[in-house]
Structure 1
């Protein structure tokens, strides 16, 4: 591989630039706008899936891949875009990310069918990967000191959470007054405006050290992550975990990732520096990030399905009920950034993970008649924990390595965030389905429904998917009511199982963070 050296350029900030930069504030603002554009479409498409299904006649498998077409490139490309930013400049990657996001929205908003929608989602996902990699890199270069960087990361995390919070609210209103295609309009307009501002006001930065293109590493990590996510998605589908396609996907993922590790260990300047894991703090933060995102996104997925299918809440109502999970991060993340300047970060992280885990476990107390106030209070407990943990994890990961590796640490942290986010819905979707199918016959028998209707309902849910159970229509109103009540009880059981898995996973992450990072960790 050819070695690339960069000479100093007048419009760039390099690794050696220490102290205050006059470009700090506009860079931080534009980084926050970039991550807002990146995460604005993440949740919204999921809320629009029923409308897309009706408009395009999409199958259940097609609906799954509409979401996954976004997730896979986001997960697979974030490390690659981090390397490209180090080589060619993060401003270029930032503007490329905005361009891909806008292009993806344009393709999706004009899609006549699901195939073009897949392409639009994939382009938007690639744009999100570029924005995730570049925005953290831009921040680390204009914030050389730990305290300032922690506050900037708090604002960056708040912007990320703001995108996740606003998305279902915006899209809920759009779906009530317009067609599903218009859910892409806010991202399109904000992305285009941010690109114009960034092109004129963002100062470039890149790594001022020897770098290799590391093409084998980039190819292997893309193949490995793509096959891993694909295996989990297909494993939860009709083919099952033992189908040849799923087994081959996992085998390919294992071989590609093993090859990636071997290549990176031999490379004098790897795209993913495995020396990062020599730091106990980075290792603890990496595990905590992946587990927290897996549990959080999986729990949001489970609650969204529960509110929509059992309580028949609208997209707007679902967004309002879940607003505290990410909305509290918007409010509290900047304060958490200041808090970690006075308290040990390990203690703040441990406390946040414990609170988030307890909040998830409290969801096991939900029943069909649980009031909206109680639901929102429990979700707020989870939101407080996530608000404490999320910016702290990112700060620990970046500050636990030498500054020359800070950008790599940021990209690695983002990659782990996306891997956890991708696996959450896949695994929790399988958990919901299996639990509902397993408990539904018991609840149907207890409901007093006749054996023929019991068999029909069980067969429909088993073969057509758990969504059909929310819209059952039997021969009489009484029979329909009994079937829907049994379905509700089965789904509640499944929600409790999801909450248990989520809560235990986050509490385990808290113990792991205490072991690797400690509760007295304060990076100087």
Structure 2
């Protein structure tokens, strides 16, 4: 089933308007986009909605302070570890079919987490939520990129999707605190169960099915090594913030993860039908685009985390006033999402990507001017403007990676994009959080993290610009 402004592997491709401002979505196309974006927003919300509720949740279920990290890690492990595998399975056996399966799993897992009666049942629900997210995210993104033709229509669709992805993470932090204070922590999980049910009701009649025309054998050795490697890597980095990198379990798991990912590269070079096409990874746009995505997600999530500590612990702002700061940031992200496709249409995705990274890094540097007795206004302005640049980077890096990729490999390409997103959201805080704990005071630690964050983003902007060959080719 195809709609008049979309393309799928089973429907005809329509001509894309030459100007992004001429890209108009039909009523049905808007509904399809709403369903796909709602699913992505729901998963983004899940990343942050529980953070504020963790202390209350721990007391209610009997989770110790040291065990609270598992409320986050139990979700992050499967959501990041299985993305590539499910993205490829969707290519082969049907993206819509797997997308709906993921929604059922996510909704049931959210209900289990809502009704949890002990730590084991809650963590089981969180792990199954993560597994459902690992199905929903790559299948939803590949349905989007195969539904809307490459050009202004896809630019607009990805712009809306990227805005909601960023907004979901921010709103989750604010909404989680409000709901926990008024309705209890279980309401945060119940909200996700309701959201999954709504999307599941709408999706079957709206979404087209798409898959690759051929069904080669699934690369099992590749699936085992990449999934195991990602699981080990995410586990190591997620626990490093609590135990430190000197912990035997942390560095041992890190070594195992790197070894498995190295084995994955060897396996893929010899596989007849590889899970990840090495020639695709060698494409300049795929490699450098994903590096940019990893940096922008990991570093922006770190800024949000340390600013939360700064506003509440150093400036002693209330949870409500802290929420207002990130509410302004969310509005800025919406504004950026509406304008980013126009900039991309005028300057090209590559230039917007590099420019957005430069802006994010420079505004991160501006945050170093905050003080111990004031700085809320500066923090609000700088993080909001940085989020606008971050949103531009999110949208443009997705376009850089997926543009020019044939429909039969869109699940793989979007699987790489979404794996980068999930891993980026997971690794930034553990990596730079170690810097915060080694300083004399929390404020000194926050400044150290902000300085390292800005330096990494600016260095990445320069490297990505050179890697994408902007001096030789416009785009």
- Scaled by the length of structure 1, the TM-score of the pair is 0.82
**Corresponding residue of 1:263:** 267
Alignment of 1:227-376 (within 5 A): 227-238=232-243, 240-376=244-380
CA-CA distance at 1:27 after TM superposition: 2.8
Q: Quick check: 102-111 or 309-318, which moved more?
A: 309-318
Alignment of 1:19-418 (within 5 A): 19=14, 24-238=29-243, 240-418=244-422
| Bigger Rg over Cα | 1
* Secondary structure of residue in 2 paired with 1:369: coil
User: 2 CA distance for matches of 1:16 and 1:182?
Assistant: 41
User: 1 CA distance for matches of 2:371 and 2:429?
Assistant: 22
Q: Which runs of 5+ in 2 are unaligned?
A: 1-6, 16-24
* Secondary structure of residue in 1 paired with 2:345: coil
Q: Quick check: 491-500 or 380-389, which moved more?
A: 380-389
* Secondary structure of residue in 1 paired with 2:102: helix
* Secondary structure of residue in 2 paired with 1:47: coil
Q: Which runs of 5+ in 1 are unaligned?
A: 1-11, 440-489
User: 1 CA distance for matches of 2:14 and 2:315?
Assistant: 54
CA 1:244/1:170 → structure 2, altered by over 3 Å: closer, same or farther?
closer
CA-to-aligned-CA distance 1:125-146 (integer Å, 9 cap, x gap): 1122212101111012122332
* Secondary structure of residue in 2 paired with 1:62: coil
User: 1 CA distance for matches of 2:176 and 2:234?
Assistant: 27
CA-to-aligned-CA distance 1:159-212 (integer Å, 9 cap, x gap): 212322322232222122121111122221111011011122222111223432
CA-CA distance at 1:360 after TM superposition: 1.3
User: 2 CA distance for matches of 1:396 and 1:179?
Assistant: 42
**Corresponding residue of 1:14:** 9
* Secondary structure of residue in 1 paired with 2:51: helix
CA-to-aligned-CA distance 1:419-457 (integer Å, 9 cap, x gap): 11111121232222222xxx1xxxxxxxxxxxxxxxxxx
CA 1:357/1:324 → structure 2, altered by over 3 Å: closer, same or farther?
farther
Q: Quick check: 216-225 or 333-342, which moved more?
A: 333-342
CA-CA distance at 1:337 after TM superposition: 1.3
CA-CA distance at 1:278 after TM superposition: 2.4
Matched, 1:492 2:443: yes
What number of residue pairs does the alignment pair up? 458
User: 2 CA distance for matches of 1:324 and 1:208?
Assistant: 46
* Secondary structure of residue in 2 paired with 1:383: helix
CA-CA distance at 1:147 after TM superposition: 2.4
- Asked whether the 8 Å contact 1:83–1:271 carries over to 2, the reply is yes
User: 2 CA distance for matches of 1:311 and 1:175?
Assistant: 23
Q: Quick check: 196-205 or 404-413, which moved more?
A: 404-413
Alignment of 1:455-470 (within 5 A): none
- Asked whether the 8 Å contact 2:166–2:391 carries over to 1, the reply is no
CA 1:317/1:67 → structure 2, altered by over 3 Å: closer, same or farther?
farther
User: 1 CA distance for matches of 2:323 and 2:83?
Assistant: 28
- Asked whether the 8 Å contact 1:43–1:164 carries over to 2, the reply is yes
**Corresponding residue of 1:445:** none
User: 2 CA distance for matches of 1:245 and 1:156?
Assistant: 37
**Corresponding residue of 1:502:** 453
User: 1 CA distance for matches of 2:259 and 2:348?
Assistant: 40
